[in-house]
Copies of this chain bind each other. A is one copy, B any other.
Amino acid sequence: MAGLTDPDLLFAAEGRALSIARDLYAGVKDLPIVSPHGHTDPRWYALNEPFPDPAQLLVVPDHYIFRMLFSQGVRLEDLGISPLDGSPVESDPRAIWRRFAEHYYLFRGTPTRLWLDHVLEHLFGIDEPLNASTADRHYNTIAGLLKQDGYRPRALFERFNIEVIATTDGALDDLQWHKAIRDSGWQGRVVTAYRPDAVVDPDFEGFLGSLDRLGEVSGCDTGTWAGYLDAHRQRRAFFKTFGATSSDHGHPTAETANLSDAAAEELFNRIRHGSDDERERKLFRAQMLTEMAKMSRDDGLVMQIHPGSWRNHSPGIFQKFGRDKGFDIPTRTDYAAALKPLLDCVGLERDLTIILFTLDETSYARELAPLAGVYPALKLGPAWWFHDSPEGMRRFREMTTETAGFYNTVGFNDDTRAFPSIPARHDVARRVDCAYLARLVAEHRLREDEAHELALELAYTLAKKAYRL
């Protein structure tokens, strides 16, 4: 390939599957980006300040990157990641960048490599591989461009052809940056999404205090079950005024419950006073998924459930560096039994949309596709996190399509805080989907006109429809 990325990236090597994939991709590659779920910082769009330097932009905040380097013996401190006790870390961005470049070969065969090569070439015009010997030169190129106005957040947003992007904000967030974006008159469409984990999960740090705070910001009495539910309704309505069309729920498991009102109230009262009964705390999380689903039925917010990640698996790292340091490990996740209470309650609703994600691929064909292929309220979110990769996306299609079809899926989520990689991620997803559709056509399982319709659905339309954007 010339440059870092080939025009035929991820397509079949030759033959009909290649030529069909090229045709399909030509029809979708320039479509606007719809990013219905992600973690970019609304402050960027509000303030529109330049990004600081190549290391801060591309290395330090990317857990895919620092977890791999750490696994091969690089210390987190040497990548600029600060221990909680404030002890010193590498502060020279160029030194961090060099360390990353020297280890870039570790990413061979990973999606990080595909995304970063795409960013280097398409965003920064670089066409020589990143390694120890090119590290400085590429650093200079990127650092120079980041100073230009065309590389500020809003300019990139427009250059990336983003039609709409959702951020994810905690239930207590005042959405000041969303307000600032709106007040600025800038036309970029940035919406929020309601993420209430901190006020729903009794195991979340500072849970009880957060309930107090929830009462303050909502004007509801979170000392009672009724007031607590009202507070959620208030906050959801508030989030809707900043464009929210969805809520998002990151639970350790997919367990749901459907208690009677009286039992739920009693449970809340125990939880509100700091129950240390592990079973009760789990039950409360489970009940709250069903409560959120009922609110979604009433207010129309699309509900996303992201279960099955064991957060902060290493206590050593958690104590030293805090959350989100690459030590979140997927676990086995059941859905057929776990979701039943919720589904018994609202699963047959035709106007409700619940989007399920998984980190346990064994559930795709066995549980998720059969569930989404019959319950009107359920749809399948795209391959998530570790599975947001060419093989992961291919397995997702191969294991869900035959039972759930394409129309019970919802297009792509980039799910990222790595803003410059958003076009790369959507590009990889579009390519993988086109390659999959091309294979179906090449094997005569689908007509070519249908594949073109589907390529458009998967790249653009399904996400807009499912997320009501």
Contacts and interface: CB of A to CB of B under 8 A. Distances in A.
Given A336-B329, A344-B314, A348-B314, A110 B405 contact: yes
Interface string A388-415: 0111100000110111111110000000
Interface stretch (A27-35, A199-207, A263-271, A441-449): A441-449
Contacts of A336: 310, 313, 329-331
A68 interface: yes
Interface in A326-365: 326-332, 334, 336-337, 340, 343-344, 347-348, 350, 359-362, 365
A78 to B, nearest CB: 12
Nearest to A441: B13
For chain A, the bracket of interface size reads 35 or more
Given A316-B344, A336-B313, A366-B330, A444 B10 contact: yes
A109 B401 contact: yes
Given A106-B405, A330-B370, A71 B376 contact: yes
Given A68-B373, A386-B369, A447-B1, A405 B326 contact: no
A71 B310 contact: no
Contact of A13 (B16, B328, B361): B16
B376 A72 contact: yes
Interface in A413-458: 439-440, 442-447, 450, 453-454
Interface in A362-384: 362, 365-367, 369-376, 378
A372 B392 CA distance: 18
Contacts of A371: 313, 329
A51 interface: no
Nearest to A345: B316
A408 B71 contact: yes
A162 interface: no
Nearest to A4: B447
A6 interface: yes
A111 B402 contact: yes
